[in-house]
Amino acid sequence: MGEVTYLEALRQGLWEEMERDPRVFILGEDVGAYGGAFKVTEGFAKKFGEQRVIDTPISEAAIVGAAAGAAHMGLRPVAEMQFIDFISCAYDMLTNYVATARYRAGLSTPMVVRGPCGGYVRGGPFHSQNPEAAFFHTPGLKIVYPATARDAKGLIKASIRDEDPVIYLEHKWLYRRIKEALPEGEVLTPIGEARLAREGKDLSIVTYGATVWKSLEAADQLAQDDGLSVEVLDLRTLLPMDDAAIMRTVQKTNKVLIVHEDTRTGGVAGEIAARINEQAFAWLDGPIMRVTAHDVPLPYAPTLEDFVLPQTEDIAKAARWLAAY
């Protein structure tokens, strides 16, 4: 099989699960006749019919609520947020109802809420957000964030099959940039397991999403210019987080830099740093460092967006400082 894009790998995963399990259906704004804002579900309505690929009103709370009810009744809904920014309209439904349904009433809620997230595409503040931290502290939810084509496919399939609600974050900057040859047969990525994207010995970068690729670029640059051997850990799943993989890389290199595209204050990096401090403090030979977006809404202007978001050189600069500590 030839190389496929991140977007096509996601399409394949959805398509295969729709074929495999008649309980799986898709709902969201313009997912049917139009094929989705980014064409992820193009051709699905023709293949599976309007009963399984449902165009909804513009109401994210209604989309998630309908998905939850269907999940309670034994179906496997995949709810698309046209842009993940607007998942905020369904925050109440997700945190107060969906996340607590099993605890409160013993109700299984096997559903996926997926949508395009992230910046680097000049989308401005309403179409570029990374909302993972808003849901990260909510027991009952799972959060996955693939960085590769293989994981885009493997994690959507695993999410659909999971018995609990999953927020599936797909980075629009990666949709058509990232390509990979997928293996024949079933592709499944276990929820809750990180991936070692690059081995190294001098320091570790812990990251996820689009900044996996920025971190790998920085690691290449540091190896070439500074002779530094940088390890890169792709978390893949944020909730539940793979603490064991994080602690292994910290114990190996003794220095850690956490990189994510979300804003700094209250971001996931702070929780990762706290866990390292609790579980692997004795292994550290330097302070835990962070490279994140600035604490501002994401600007539309290209020069301003580039300044606000983490860039390869920002990561390399922080890594050099940490390596020399």
Contact 262, 132 (CB under 8 A): yes
All CATH 3.40.50.970 domain ranges of the chain, comma separated, are 3-181
Overall CATH class of domain 3-181: alpha beta
Strand, coil or helix: 3: strand
C-alpha 66/C-alpha 64 separation (Å) is 5
DSSP of 96-165, one letter per residue? IIGGGHHHHH------EEEEEE--SS---TTS----HHHHHT-TT-EEE---SHHHHHHHHHHHHH-SS-
* Radius of gyration of the chain measured on its C-alpha atoms: 19
What pLDDT, in 10s, does the model give residues 231-289?
999 999 999 999 999 999 999 999 999 999 999 999 999 999 999 999 999 999 999 99
**The total number of residues written for the chain in this structure:** 325
DSSP of 7-45, one letter per residue? HHHHHHHHHHHHHH-TTEEEEETT-SSS--TTSTTTTHH
What pLDDT, in 10s, does the model give residues 69-78?
999 999 999 9
Percent over 90 (pLDDT), the chain: 98
Candidate CATH numbers 3.40.50.300, 3.40.50.920, 3.20.20.10, 3.90.1650.10; the one for domain 195-323? 3.40.50.920
- The question of whether 127 is a catalytic residue gets the answer yes
- Would you call the peptide bond into 165 cis, given omega within 30 degrees of 0 as the criterion? no
Q: How far is CA 216 from CA 61, 132, 196, 219, in A?
A: 37, 22, 11, 5
Indicate yes or no: pTM above 0.75: yes
- Please compute the mean of the pLDDT values over residues 102-123 and round it to a whole number: 97
pLDDT at 184: 87
Strand, coil or helix: 5: strand
Task: Report CA torsion sign: 205, 210, 213, 219.
Answer: negative
List CB contacts of 193: < 8 A, sequence separation 6 or more.
Answer: 236, 237, 242, 245
pLDDT at 1: 61
- Residue type at 105 in one-letter notation: A
Give the number of C-alpha atoms closer than 13 A to the C-alpha of residue 175, restricted to the C-beta side: 17
Catalytic residue among 72, 127, 171, 294: 127
**Residue with tokens 């978390």, as numbered in its chain:** 235
Task: Report CA torsion sign: 92, 96, 101, 105.
Answer: negative
